[in-house]
């Protein structure tokens, strides 16, 4: 049972354009959401998070949007840079459970082309 889904396995975007990565979840107990970036042979790197009490969180080029009614979140990267090419994972946790126990999506491979 995949509780966190990233339906696009890959995405290609031109440098300077916007990258939009999507994530859907099914567990209504999830109330904290995170995005991670992962390069080959490295551990995931935390990018940005959002609590369910918000619908938007912004940090530099990265913005995460949360639509609780649709159980959907998205990560926007503007402008996209070649160094952003990596696999992006969406993750979720429920504060009623073990703190920070994360459920991950399947990942989206982003390629930023010149």
Partner 1 sequence: SAVISQKPSRDICQRGTSLTIQCQVDSQVTMMFWYRQQPGQSLTLIATANQGSEATYESGFVIDKFPISRPNLTFSTLTVSNMSPEDSSIYLCSVSQGTNTEAFFGQGTRLTVV
Binding site for partner 1 (CB under 8 A): 31-32, 34, 36, 41-46, 49, 51, 89, 91, 93, 95, 98-107
Whose Cβ is closer to partner 1: residue 13's or residue 105's?
A: 105
Separation of alpha carbons 29 and 84, rounded Å: 31
In 3D space, the residue among 21, 16, 35 whose CA is nearest the CA of residue 78 turns out to be: 16
Beta partners for residue 57, in sequence order: 64
In angstroms, give the least distance from the CB of 51 to partner 1. Answer: 6
In angstroms, give the least distance from the CB of 1 to partner 1. Answer: 10
In angstroms, give the least distance from the CB of 62 to partner 1. Answer: 13
């Amino acid at each position: 049972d995949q509780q966190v889904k990233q339906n696009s396995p890959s995405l290609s975007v031109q440098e300077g354009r916007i990258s939009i990565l999507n994530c859907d979840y099914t567990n209504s107990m999830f109330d904290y959401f995170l995005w991670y970036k992962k390069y080959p042979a490295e551990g995931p790197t935390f990018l940005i998070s959002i609590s369910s009490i918000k619908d938007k969180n912004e940090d530099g080029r990265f913005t995460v949007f949360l639509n609780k009614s649709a159980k959907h979140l998205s990560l926007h990267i503007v402008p996209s840079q070649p160094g952003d090419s990596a696999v992006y994972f969406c993750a979720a946790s429920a504060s009623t459970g073990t703190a920070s126990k994360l459920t991950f999506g399947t990942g989206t491979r982003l390629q930023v082309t010149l």
